[in-house]
Amino acid sequence: MHKRLITTLSLGLLVFSASAQSNDYLANIVKVIEPKTSQTAIVVRALGSEGQTRSATDNEYRKDAERLFVPASTMKLLTAVAATTALGRDFKFSTQIDAFVGIQNRRIEGDLFVRFDGDPTLTVSDLRQLFKQLQKQGLEHIDGNVYLVGDQQETLQAPGWVWDDLGICYAAPVSRYILNQNCVKAKLSPTLANNKSKLSFSQFEPVVITNTAVFDKTGDIPFCELSLQRQSNNQFLLSGCHAGQKPLKLAIAISDPALYAQNSVTNMLANLGITIKGKVLLTSKRPPNTLLLAEHKSKPLSDLTDTMLLKSDNLIADSLLKRLGQQIYGVPGSFINGSAAMKQILMELGVELESANIVDGSGLSRYNLLSAEQLTQVLLLIKQHKELNFLVEQLPVAGQSGTLEYRSGYTTPPLKGAVLAKTGSMMGVANLAGFIKEDGELSKSFVILENGHSPAVKKSEFSPFNVLFLQSMVQKAQP
């Protein structure tokens, strides 16, 4: 399919290369390469000095610019702009331990409170370091309970998330309670004696995975596929079959973050030798007038957005979305108030989102709807506002970094190094939004949305339509 389109494009270039107008040229190219099975929308804008859009109409190409599409991870562009605007690029998540009194006689009289802040980067190691800080202050015993402060009633997934994604770590639950990205890493290995398998973990994991999976070492099993069933209380059933003899790495999203944190802290205290008279419990509120004993802060927002855009990190995106809801409305953050806050922030910046539907910050939801024009307006904000300019350098670069480093068609000229863009891909969706760089400067912004993308095209190839359109656009600009 890809080779046939390239041949067709070459013929199209010969036919239409004499076109005087850039928009006519691109329109003719689209007629040649546009897939028959999907819907597409495109906006290309030439950038002048200071990122301003040039006024000449022949420096713009638009196709179905107002039509709404599922944006997938291009939604993270909106999250990055809204979070930077409302929270500031120096914002940090803060996980705190406090109590009514300090440590005296190697103990704390009364209860201890661990306030989880929804930090998407918080690890078990980070939390252990907090308790080690208390040990350095002499702590050996807690006379009361240890309360983990969070929200046990919050919605962990946004409406429109695909149910069969929920066991995979890129769709891990979004909670005030986050440890190790709410993701369990394991290795499934074949046994020597038979086709059975064994499951191993690199560290203690407070989950139960019942494993009946087998390895098909000889290829004799007609249908060989692994199956993971999610059950309550962070229990899972792994069954089915894996072809081959090599061990398989697994990344499994937990289902109950609060329970995972509760069991992790219980095990942590025991391993550190800190005894506790009571239990490790969950609570929604930290009492007033407590004394701060230890604190862990995340990296600043500018570092978080770098990871979010470069690696398309969903947990960071939706954690920031919930924090927007908390920041704007002064109530516990949720997908609903976070989405409303993000829409409000961006509309105040001039993005016309009246027709848009925003459900999450990651783009995982199939209910999100954006147009190519709306995404273009967000790109122009990034380019024109100095406080947002740093986001340009955080975008994946074709053939060099992030989700565009190994994409077929982007690893060689003319696109390698010339395209800086956020990808957005899921079943049937192949989107791209970003900038073209020429002679070291950003010359154009572009948005290419394709919904209904055929699953017959290998995921590694992304979208031949996107690749060929950008190649024709870049080649047209070259002398």
> Which residues in 315-342 are b (16+ Cβ under 10 Å) and which e?
bbbbbbbbbbbbbbeeebbbbebbbbbb
> Which residues in 71-97 are b (16+ Cβ under 10 Å) and which e?
bbbbbbbbbbbbbbbbbebebbbebbb
- Whether 151 and 175 have beta carbons less than 8 Å apart is answered as yes
Q: Name the residue with tokens 């998330």.
A: 161
* Residues marked as catalytic: 73, 76, 312
Residue 474 contacts by C-beta under 8 Å, 6 or more apart in sequence? Answer: 414, 415, 418, 419, 436
**Cβ-based neighbour number of residue 244 at 10 Å:** 13
Phi, psi of 170 (to 5 degrees): -70, -10
Residue 108 contacts by C-beta under 8 Å, 6 or more apart in sequence? Answer: 99, 101, 102, 139, 141, 142, 143, 144
**Spacing of C-alpha 3 from chain mean position:** 32
Of 6, 4, 3, 1, the residue nearest 471 (C-alpha): 6
Phi, psi of 371 (to 5 degrees): -105, 165
Separation between Cα atoms, residue 410 and residue 250, nearest integer Å? 29
